Chain A
């Protein structure tokens, strides 16, 4: 407990520094704007802005605080387009449309927006409190992990990824493997042998993380926007003067509490972020409290549950990233890559070696949450304006921002072609129902995975049995097996109960 309080004191010392405080606010504000743009979710927003944030030349803690603010703000902003336009910004916001949009259509747009802001605030704050309590003990436990345990941890991470993310487990696994394979390009650090560089000097140091992120997310998103392009403006529902009432909050308080817990713990699982959390929270809430069958027609609880859950998941996803160096979602994978660019290895040692970064980030999340609530309640009308930006201006802007970002960092026009190529590849992956988060997770974790495997086998002198010698690794393998088996078993059971009717996708 004392460690937590000391850490928080350090953290607030960093986060309340005028520059950092400004960056939290700017990040939250900018993130909300980006999140509110139709079709542009948190992961794409962070991906497009990451190179620019890096290019500004701040210290690592300031840059990370800015990026986390954008991430948080975009999670907030996503609900605006979901509620007013019925167009979710990303997979995590799909559940918000189910009850949020009917409320807005019934003339309660202001109420829906303010209620979801409160739910997001509670979910986010709950998660950040648990994060500051859980992270230090977990980090000090994780220090005892041997390389073999780390291998087991990676296997668990990829198992939960394959089982919980995306429509097809094989495709998710393949996506992660593609990411891992991309990470093998470059000089092998242990022996100095060049792998898959084909004599091109530009990639001797490996494919640049920024190029992969901006290409796969930013540019692929742009192509998707062009593909679905609708001419002219989307029809946005007006924001009225209605506001969240105490009755609504009283009705939702247990919903929000349950959804926050669900969101946080699902967020912790490696690789599963807001989309799974909000879907599970909505499903659970529907099962528990939908006695009058009002869910889906504008029930306040159906709106509060996914909103609380996806913000709690955003905080939960930070736990494995900060303590183990394994990102809990696609977006945290990008943040982790950002840390690596600053030569900070996220993981158990970060709390002792770079406390100002770890705790500064946590403290900034407290501030960011409050700031978002304050920004969001009065300014929602302004953000709603963003919805009416015509797509034919938005789309070129994304490309211009992405090009600025990549060019300022790398300064090599060849990379601009590379991100375009990766964008085309990413667009095909998306069209074929691959989710892109596993690719980036594999890419970020590739080096760590390989190093630990090789280190473990060096310790044992080539004996593969070392991988299952320790109770920690065995536990992790069992968990990995469970996380794969349980959804299959649940689906079987659901099918048996429904008498052969295929289980509903959620």
Chain B
């Protein structure tokens, strides 16, 4: 059943892909027999054929994921999205402390260990990547505005 639903959703996407390939894409002028639309057209036909086979004869697969596992997965995805959103505003160190701590706590690290892990991952990760490997990581917008604000207030006073 899960197979059929997934294939059905993909089928809708593929039909949209095919519709664009057959109607919208076209080159204003071209010298070659195959334009930019031909290849997506061929691909969409192959994909639709495969999807129809799966919808017609799905493997009997159930996802077999328990309710609590869904909850855990959903929470992980939300945390990842939050981590992505906070990456630049809070900076790598702070965002990693929050994310690493929260995820390891949810996955079963007890007591103060999540906090230690988060701080270690954020602090050591930043030192390792920025100073040793010379990679580019966000320092954090709030720190930049704070730092920028300090001299301005000094100048005002």
* Pairing of A with B: yes
Partner-B contacts on A (CB < 8 A) = 52, 55-57, 167-168, 170-171, 173-174, 177-178, 180-181, 184, 188, 190-193, 195-196, 219, 222-223, 226-227, 229, 231-232, 390-393, 395-397, 399-400, 403-404, 407-408, 411, 413, 416-417, 420, 423-424, 427-428, 431-433, 450, 453-454, 457-458, 461-462
Given A196-B20, A226-B73, A432-B2, A170:B54 Cβ within 8 A: yes
CA distance A424 to B77 in the complex (A): 8
Per DSSP, are chain A's interface residues mostly helix, strand or loop, or mixed?
A: helix
Q: Hey, which chain B residues are within 8 Å of A193, CB to CB?
A: 25-27, 35-36
Interface contact A226-B83, CB-CB below 8 Å: no
Is B127 among interface residues, defined by CB-CB distance under 8 A? no
Is B137 among interface residues, defined by CB-CB distance under 8 A? yes
Interface contact A393-B47, CB-CB below 8 Å: no
Q: Hey, which chain B residues are within 8 Å of A395, CB to CB?
A: 103-104, 107
Is B61 among interface residues, defined by CB-CB distance under 8 A? yes
CA distance A423 to B79 in the complex (A): 13
- Chain B: CB-nearest residue to A219: B80
For the complex of A and B, 10 pairs with smallest distance between CB atoms: A462-B33, A416-B84, A392-B107, A174-B50, A188-B36, A191-B27, A231-B108, A396-B103, A408-B135, A450-B39
Is B12 among interface residues, defined by CB-CB distance under 8 A? no
CA distance A495 to B109 in the complex (A): 50
B-side interface residues, number (CB < 8 Å)? 63
- Chain A: CB-nearest residue to B109: A392
CA distance A184 to B43 in the complex (A): 10
Per DSSP, are chain B's interface residues mostly helix, strand or loop, or mixed?
A: helix
CA distance A177 to B52 in the complex (A): 14
CA distance A204 to B10 in the complex (A): 23
Interface contact B137-A226, CB-CB below 8 Å: no
Interface contact B138-A190, CB-CB below 8 Å: no
Interface contact B47-A178, CB-CB below 8 Å: yes
- Chain A: CB-nearest residue to B30: A191
Is B3 among interface residues, defined by CB-CB distance under 8 A? yes
Interface contact B87-A177, CB-CB below 8 Å: no
- Chain B: CB-nearest residue to A397: B121
Is B40 among interface residues, defined by CB-CB distance under 8 A? yes
- Chain B: CB-nearest residue to A181: B43
Contact of A223 among B76, B96, B134 (CB under 8 A): B76
- Chain A: CB-nearest residue to B57: A170
Interface contact B81-A393, CB-CB below 8 Å: no
Q: Hey, which chain B residues are within 8 Å of A196, CB to CB?
A: 17, 20, 40
Interface contact B46-A177, CB-CB below 8 Å: yes
Is B144 among interface residues, defined by CB-CB distance under 8 A? no
Q: Hey, which chain A residues are within 8 Å of B34, CB to CB?
A: 453-454, 457-458, 462
Interface contact A393-B104, CB-CB below 8 Å: yes
Given A52-B135, A170-B54, A223:B36 Cβ within 8 A: no
Q: Hey, which chain B residues are within 8 Å of A173, CB to CB?
A: 46, 50
- Chain B: CB-nearest residue to A184: B40
Given A229-B72, A413-B87, A190:B32 Cβ within 8 A: yes
Interface bits B65-106 vs A (CB < 8 Å: 1, else 0): 100010011001100110111011000100010011001100
Q: Hey, which chain A residues are within 8 Å of B65, CB to CB?
A: 227, 431
Given A173-B50, A404-B125, A407-B137, A392:B108 Cβ within 8 A: yes
Interface contact A226-B107, CB-CB below 8 Å: yes
User: Closest CB of chain B to A438's CB: distance in Å?
Assistant: 12
Interface contact A180-B50, CB-CB below 8 Å: no
CA distance A408 to B135 in the complex (A): 6
User: Closest CB of chain A to B74's CB: distance in Å?
Assistant: 10
CA distance A392 to B114 in the complex (A): 9
Is B6 among interface residues, defined by CB-CB distance under 8 A? yes
User: Closest CB of chain B to A185's CB: distance in Å?
Assistant: 10
Contact of A170 among B17, B31, B50 (CB under 8 A): B50
